Structure 1
Amino acid sequence: MSNWLPSLNALRAFEVTARKKSYRKAAEELGVTTAAVKQLVEKLENLLGEKLFLGRGQNLKITSVGEVGLEELSISFKQIERTVNRMKSYKNKNRLVITCEPSFASAWLVPRLNKFKTLNPSIEVLIDSSPKVVSLSDGSIDLAIRFGVNDYSSRLNVERLYDESLAPYCSPSLIHGSKKISKFSEIENYPLLRWDTSQFNWSNNTKRWMDWENWIKFAKLDTTLNLNYGPKFTEYNLALQCAIAGQGFILGSTPVLSDLIKKGLLIDPFNLSIKTDLGYDLVYEKKAFIKPEIEKFISWIVSEKKNN
């Protein structure tokens, strides 16, 4: 049996064209001319002795032979991409890349990160602060700290860091002196700061819990209050800074804001922390322990959580 194989360039040109159903769009993705893509696909067809596409332009259709190749080649090129990323990751083996939910990153992780650096001075830590669920499969991200995700792939290890509890927090200055508040119904006299959770299209639970009216229902409080809504923020950290500045109440995480609470920057005047079905999870690939840096960070953050 011959070990002959067509060129990777020809196979890649076919795979992208089949996926995009267009020579022009394939050329844009590959960064070459449309003519070059067509030429590579034609070479592959000549070598195989089979047509891979019928029609032209917007009417390009893949043949049955092409369909067979598309599925396998798409999987193969994704595997090649993952392998190359893992090779790059190994090259930077003293580098640890962590994708982290923004409020957890700024209020909990970053203030403690110097402790990890002191214990592990040779490890460079890069924090990607994003509310999006970033894939760990290509090896470019080592660890994730995710919020509000309930459905995880079986290839991932998941460790719960904190169960989420939410309470209305404000700066002591907001209710100081004559403005002192004694019961929850008086909250209607203060601005309620809001977080725009429309970006969480993967987590309806997060949207549900971070809504003031829903939280009041969950807390079994008076739902007829005339709520006074303040600004809405696309970034939770901006809403948090607004609350610290004494500009209103914010729904905040009791475990994540613990340092700010201990420092007296935020208070829960009603003692109304409500446990939710959300949580903060440490997530990593089951094969991630090939990097000792990952193992060290996991050990450190679990220990830090216990101390907290």
Structure 2
Amino acid sequence: MRMVKKNLSERARLPSLGALKYFKVAAETLSFKLAAESLFVSQAAISQHIKTLESQLGCKLFIRKNREVRLTAQGQLLLPYVQKGFSEFQKGIAQLQEDNHPNILKLNVLPSIATFWLIPRLHLFRNEYPDLQVKLIPDPDVVAFEDFNLDLAIRFGPGKYDNLSSRLLYTDRVVMVSHPHLIQSDLQPDDLRHLPVITENYSDTDDAWEVFLHRYQFRFDDFRNRFEIRDATPALVGAVLAGQGIAMVKQSLVQDYIASNQLVTLFGFSHICDYACYLVAPDFHFNFPKVQAFESWLKEQTKPTIAALSEPLN
């Protein structure tokens, strides 16, 4: 009895999905050659998988002749079930990849980019797409798409994220900026010893400061009026705008203030960031019409920023 149960269990096991796929295409085309071309494999691979499938099922599926193949009665019986199975697979996958909320765009973005770049422009997108509701989720940490049902994320990083596609928006550079009232027109690097300086513990700005200090033979201890803002770029930019000190900041975040003369760059100094700004999402999200609309709008909006980032500084 045990042997019988084991044999029945083995016979009830489904063949491999790959073998069934090969059978389906070969049965629909009635040609191993055309099936091989369709599936981008060799004709020998098709033949071998069919033989394995026939061995597993214990019956012949094809009548093989010199230049053609025909389905046996068993093959004709099996084909519609296999076709229906693959059709159901496709429907299920389509359900997973379908946009269930076509009129809502959920976007995760760094608070600094949201505050100083995206939000000042977002009304333009909403005016252009009034029926599309934007839900903005500012967060300094990487947020999982599944946890928040996100459509898109704007991230500043290496551009490589597991199971996600990344599309470059712009590369950035760090510049030294100040409120114009804080400095004189003939300011020299040595004058920073006596002026308020603001720093933050962030890799790109830390690297920029290291380059600047080395270039002018300074140490942080040489700045007599220095304070640090930790992990809060919006607070750093706010302090600079309030005239509380000179700081290193990513240019994209303050370009609007530079263009309107609310801030000025100093000494023509800049440092290219190791990371860049990317639009990030699961690959199939980029097929959603709302995502395509936002991506197209975003790329238009970044053009002036990209142009400014390529220009020499004063």
Bin the TM-score by the shorter chain.
Answer: 0.5 to 0.7
**How much does 1:183 deviate?**
1.6
% identical aligned pairs = 25
Q: 1:86 to 1:191 in 2, by over 3 A?
A: farther
Distance in 1, Cα, partners of 2:253 & 2:186:
24
Choose the corresponding residue for 1:156, options 148, 161, 164.
164
Letter in 2 for 1:124: Q
Q: Which runs of 5+ in 1 are unaligned?
A: 4-82, 198-206
Question: How big is each residue's C-alpha offset from its partner over 1:39-75, in whole Å with a ceiling of 9 and x where there is no partner?
Answer: xxxxxxxxxxxxxxxxxxxxxxxxxxxxxxxxxxxxx
RMSD, matched Cα? 2.8
Shift of 1:97: 0.9
CA distance in 1, matches of 2:219, 2:199: 19
In structure 2, C-alpha distance between the alignment counterparts of 1:233 and 1:158, rounded to whole Å: 28
1:170: which partner in 2? Answer: 178
Q: Work out the CA distance in 1 between the residues paired with 2:259 and 2:180.
A: 12
Q: How do 1:282-301 residues align onto structure 2 when only pairs under 5 Å count?
A: 282-301=279-298
Q: Say which of 70, 74, 99 aligns to 2:108.
A: 99
Asked if residue 127 in structure 1 is aligned to residue 136 in structure 2, the reply is yes
- Deviating more after overlay: 267-276 vs 208-217: 208-217
CA distance in 2: counterparts of 1:208 and 1:106, whole angstroms = 19
Equivalent-residue separation in structure 1 for 2:142 and 2:176 (angstroms): 26
User: Which letter does structure 2 place at the counterpart of 1:117?
Assistant: R
Q: Which residue of 1 aligns with 2:216?
A: 221
Per the TM alignment, residue 261 of structure 1 is displaced from its structure 2 partner at its CA by 0.7
1:247 CA displacement: 0.4
8 Å Cα contact 1:213-1:223 kept in structure 2:
no
Equivalent residue pairs, number: 213
How big is the shift at 1:220? Answer: 2.9
TM-score under structure 1 normalisation?
0.62
TM-score with structure 2 setting the length: 0.60
**Does the C-alpha gap of structure 1 residues 261 and 282 become closer, same or farther in structure 2, counting only changes over 3 Å?**
same
For each residue in 1:6-37, what CA deviation from the matched residue of structure 2 results, as whole angstroms up to 9, or x when unmatched? Answer: xxxxxxxxxxxxxxxxxxxxxxxxxxxxxxxx
Q: 5+ residue gaps in structure 2?
A: 1-7, 13-92, 306-314
Distance apart, 1:121 and its partner CA = 0.5
CA distance in 1, matches of 2:290, 2:204: 36
Q: Following TM superposition, by how much is the alpha carbon of 1:285 offset from its aligned partner in structure 2, in angstroms?
A: 1.1
**CA shift at 1:168, angstroms?**
1.1
Distance 1:212 1:255, change over 3 A: closer
* Gap change, CA 1:223 and 1:301, over 3 Å in 2: same
C-alpha distance in 1 between matches for 2:270 and 2:216: 13
- Confirm whether residue 278 of structure 1 aligns to residue 275 of structure 2: yes
- The residue aligned with 2:239 is 242
Please tell me whether the aligned partners of residues 181 and 243 of structure 2 are also in contact (alpha carbons under 8 angstroms).
Answer: yes
Q: Would the aligned equivalents of 1:260 and 1:266 in 2 still touch at CA under 8 Å? A: yes
Secondary structure of the residue aligned to 1:128 is: strand
Deviations 1:133-162 (A, max 9, x none): 112255711111111335422x32212212
8 A Cα contact 1:185 1:222, kept in partner: no
1:273 aligned partner, one-letter code: S
Return the alpha-carbon distance in structure 1 between the equivalents of residues 296 and 208 of structure 2.
36
Asked if 1:117 corresponds to 2:113, the answer is: no
CA 1:95–1:275 in structure 2 vs 1: closer, same or farther (change >3 Å)?
Answer: same
TM superposition shift of 1:188: 2.0
Conservation of the 8 A alpha-carbon contact between 2:179 and 2:262: yes
How far is the alpha carbon of 1:276 from its aligned partner?
Answer: 2.4
From 189, 192, 203, the equivalent of 1:187 is 192
Q: Look up the equivalent residue of 2:295 and give its one-letter code.
A: I
Q: Tell me, yes or no, if the aligned pair for 1:196 and 1:235 is still in contact at 8 Å.
A: no
Q: Alpha-carbon deviations, 1:91-130, whole Å to 9, x = none?
A: 4321111111121111111111111111101111111111
Distance across 2 between alignment mates of 1:86 and 1:139: 16
When you count helix as a share of all residues, which structure comes out higher? 2
* One-letter identity of the residue aligned with 1:166: V
Q: For residues 259-270 of structure 1, what are the structure 2 equivalents within 5 Å?
A: 259-270=256-267
Task: Determine the C-alpha separation between the residues in 2 that align with 1:304 and 1:144.
Answer: 16
Q: Aligned AA for 1:297? A: F
Asked if the contact 1:208–1:214 (Cα under 8 Å) also holds between the matched residues in 2, the reply is no
**Residue 145, structure 1, aligned to residue 140, structure 2:** no
| Cα pair 2:107 2:150 within 8 Å, conserved | yes
Q: Which has the larger radius of gyration?
A: 2
